Amino acid sequence: MADKIKLTKLAECAGCGAKVGAGTLASLLKGIDVHEDPNLLVGFDTADDAAVYKVTDDLAIVETLDFFPPIADDPYKYGAIAAANALSDVYAMGGEPKVALNIMAVPEDMPREVVHGILRGGYEKVYEAGASIVGGHSIFDEEPKYGLSVTGFVDPARMWTNDGAQAGDVLVYTKPLGIGVAVTAAKAELASDEVVSAAEDAMMALNRWPADVAQGFTVHGATDVTGFGVMGHVLEMANGADVSIDVDTGAFELLSDDVLAWARMGLLPAGMYRNRRYAEAYVDAADVDRALVDVLFCPETSGGLLFSVPADEADAFVAALKADDRVCCAEVVGTVAPADGDVRIRLH
């Protein structure tokens, strides 16, 4: 019975494509005051990946929550992807996940083995991260949803934020691009089994491994690329640090040679249009292929980490990332420059 259920057919939007757009989110949060607390090092007012609360001079709690509708038909893979995506926020802050709580919504008639598969996928991915699932909460809903609330630890002196990029830095990205387009093509039954498998493998890959490598280098800023796409998350980095960022669009490793062809066909998740409306006013796309620009705006469920590191460490950093076979890929994809007017991102 379980193998007959197409989980992605039960969801209107898949994975991080269901995320509320950054512009809409900003308007919803406008006017809500953040409680002032000197120990709250990072709150929601900075558009960062997780909250950070200082406990002692050398210990802070990293707190995040993430869940979404099915991004894969296989229950186990869906659970593993959702867990990897939630854990990623802790890694993006330089932290180490410790405990997690399940968040689940399932139809009342969902077969037991399907629900079990989702939970097992989440549990085993959290176990791979060296953390523990210690409980959770579930409700009945017509559309399945799954994810985690994750608590981690970080040394406040060594935490990363998305607003630390400095002029002269380079940007390094750690997963292939095009997950959002590939998943959309799969829903249209145009993607091969090989491409679907590659997308699922990339989404299930923990960002623990590039984060571990990065601990040996100088990281000025970091974020994980998820629902707001490369452009949305790069814009948050640029705005937070008050810099401009030049993006080398040809430097990204694409998930498949078909990604651009699918984008030209219009096989784009709805989240791409939300991300474009939010960010395009700050982007100079020059004469870059429109299909590639669309891919850069697409949501990337459980995407890679984007690091801002000093230029003189970039070669050694990329080499170290590539030497770890648990890291999907590592490419220098941009440079950071002083702020220059309203244009925050220039594509080349």
Write down the pLDDT at residue 1: 41
Write down the pLDDT at residue 24: 57
**Reduced to 3 states, what is the DSSP secondary structure of residue 222?**
strand
Write down the pLDDT at residue 192: 95
Q: Would you say 46 is a known binding-site residue?
A: yes
Catalytic center residues: 16
Give whole-number Cα distances, 124 to 14, 62, 206, 257, in Å: 22, 21, 12, 31
Q: Would you say 169 is a known binding-site residue?
A: no
Write down the pLDDT at residue 176: 97
The CATH superfamily of 169-347 is PurM-like C-terminal domain (3.90.650.10)
Q: Would you say 48 is a known binding-site residue?
A: yes
* Alpha-carbon radius of gyration of the chain: 19
Burial of 143 (0-12, 13-18, 19+ CB in 10 A): middle
Dist. CA 329–CA 304, nearest whole Å: 9
Could you count the other beta carbons within 10 Å of the beta carbon of residue 17? Answer: 27
Write down the pLDDT at residue 2: 46
User: Domain segments of the chain: what residues?
Assistant: 2-158, 169-347
Q: Would you say 136 is a known binding-site residue?
A: yes
Q: Please give the average pLDDT of every successive group of 10 residues along the chain, which has 348 residues.
A: 66 55 58 80 81 97 95 96 97 98 96 96 98 96 95 97 96 97 93 96 98 98 95 95 97 96 95 92 94 96 97 98 97 96 91
Give whole-number Cα distances, 239 to 54, 163, 194, in Å: 25, 7, 38
Helix pair 22-29, 270-279: axis angle to 10 deg: 60
Alpha helices in 37-109 (DSSP H): 75-92
Write down the pLDDT at residue 34: 65
CATH topology of domain 2-158: 60s Ribosomal Protein L30; Chain: A; (3.30.1330)
Dist. CA 334–CA 169, nearest whole Å: 9
Q: Would you say 224 is a known binding-site residue?
A: yes
